[in-house]
Structure 1
Amino acid sequence: MESSPYQEHAVRYDRWFEDKPLVYAAELRALRSMLPDDRTLSVEIGAGTGRFAAPLGIRFGVEPSAAMAVLARQRGVEIISGVAEALPLRDSSADLLLMVTAICFFRDAEQAFREAWRALKPGGQIVAAILDRSSPLGQIYEANKAASPFYRQAVFRTAGETADLLAAAGFAKFSFCQTLFGQDLAAVTEDEPICAGHSQGLFAVIRAAKP
């Protein structure tokens, strides 16, 4: 994962969630709708500042940016330094792996998904949230990413492309949900819908299992 913009701008990144509380709340609702109830060891890959792991009850995170890790630890997340392409996790050790808008920064997404498959127990699940390039707002993000210190190096994918990569790594039993519809985050409301499927909402969540 490319860590330098997050190392340099960790506080700015973290403040975004306070500036966009309705967007953040919708993302959390979408993720909660996809998380399995039965999970002993769950880990967020690319945990950032802990904005998702902490409220979702995920105790552990893997994060390459030391500056981001400091904020995550303050939220009670136990951070292990590492990258998605070489996870510091034992084979078949995790029940759940979470990735939230981190895949677009992985240096090698295919390798990251192979590592996720390795680290999950048989029957374990991966929940991966992306900024869906095929959505109306995703197309705006793609067109303007060069102006962002965070997204200029990002590789935005569609939910379908991401699912294909997961399937190539061995995952199966796919489910999808989405939120953040329209073309302006300022229009997000307190009851922003969470809908099945993908390609219309910016924030797409994909759940799959290791057979």
Structure 2
Amino acid sequence: MRGARVFDELAGRYDSWYSRHPITAENEVKAVAAALGGVDPCLEVGAGSGFFASRVGCRFGVDPSVGMLRIARARGVEVAQARGESLPVASGSLAGILVSVTICFLDDPRAALGEAYRALRPRGRIAVCMVPAESSWGRHYAALARAGHPFYSHARFYTVAEAGEMLEEAGFRVDSVIGTLTYPPWGLERPEDPEPYREGVHGFACLSASKGE
């Protein structure tokens, strides 16, 4: 995972984003929950501070950052230090996998999605939630990255189409794409319900995909 050391050193700063932007965070939680569909057992890849896992019923999480895992554990998530490209779980053991605001930080997202496919049981579900590169949020974060932002400078932002192609290459079928955040990062936050993703409209997208029989 890109910049794991930075996430160790600045875990508290990273996690504070959710308390500083509670309306936007809640909008994202609703989209994640809709895409994941309440499957159990569920594991979050790149669980970070456990914010999403703890809110949408993912009992398990992995992350390479020990600093992040400490916060996730305090939120009640059962965590292990591991990377998405090598999950410490048996094949076919999970009903759901969440990859939220993580694909942009993975060293090898295709390998991680292949690992997710292996770990999921037949008809298992994966939700890949992201800031699309084509959105105002993606462009804003990319600009911060170029300016040396401690987190985003380690990120590579993908379009929704690119994420969908990677899921399909791993063997998944993309069933739906859910969007939220119709306001820009500098706009007034407002509560929103998730809806079908529209390119150029939504700043947060969740691709919901399934494994075959």
Q: Which residue identity is paired with 2:84? A: A
Please name the residue that 1:103 is paired with: 103
Per-residue deviation at 1:185?
4.6
Please name the residue that 1:155 is paired with: 156
Tell me the alpha carbon deviations over residues 39-98 of structure 1, each in whole angstroms, 9 at most, x when there is no partner. 331101101111111111111101110000001100100001100011111111100000
Please name the residue that 1:206 is paired with: 207
Please tell me whether the aligned partners of residues 179 and 204 of structure 1 are also in contact (alpha carbons under 8 angstroms): yes
Deviating beyond 4 angstroms after TM superposition, the runs of 4 or more aligned structure 1 residues are none
Determine helix, strand or coil for the equivalent of 2:184: coil
Q: Which residue identity is paired with 1:103? A: I
Kindly, what percent of the aligned residue pairs are identical?
35
Q: Which residue identity is paired with 2:27? A: A
Please name the residue that 1:61 is paired with: 61
Tell me the alpha carbon deviations over residues 10-57 of structure 1, each in whole angstroms, 9 at most, x when there is no partner. 0001111110001101001111222224x3311011011111111111
Per-residue deviation at 1:137?
2.4
Determine helix, strand or coil for the equivalent of 2:56: coil
Please tell me whether the aligned partners of residues 5 and 149 of structure 1 are also in contact (alpha carbons under 8 angstroms): yes
Determine helix, strand or coil for the equivalent of 2:175: strand
Please name the residue that 2:47 is paired with: 47
**Counterparts of 2:137 and 2:67, CA distance in 1:** 29
Query: TM-score by structure 2 length?
Result: 0.94
Name the CA shift for 1:64/1:24 in 2 (closer, same or farther; >3 Å).
Answer: same
Determine helix, strand or coil for the equivalent of 1:121: strand
Tell me the alpha carbon deviations over residues 150-207 of structure 1, each in whole angstroms, 9 at most, x when there is no partner. 0102110011110000000100142101111232354121x22422024221111000
Name the CA shift for 1:7/1:14 in 2 (closer, same or farther; >3 Å).
Answer: same
**Counterparts of 1:34 and 1:111, CA distance in 2:** 22
**Counterparts of 1:184 and 1:98, CA distance in 2:** 24
Please tell me whether the aligned partners of residues 95 and 125 of structure 1 are also in contact (alpha carbons under 8 angstroms): yes
Name the CA shift for 1:72/1:198 in 2 (closer, same or farther; >3 Å).
Answer: same
* Cα RMSD after superposing both structures: 1.3
Query: TM-score by structure 1 length?
Result: 0.95
Per-residue deviation at 1:7?
0.7
Please name the residue that 1:195 is paired with: 195
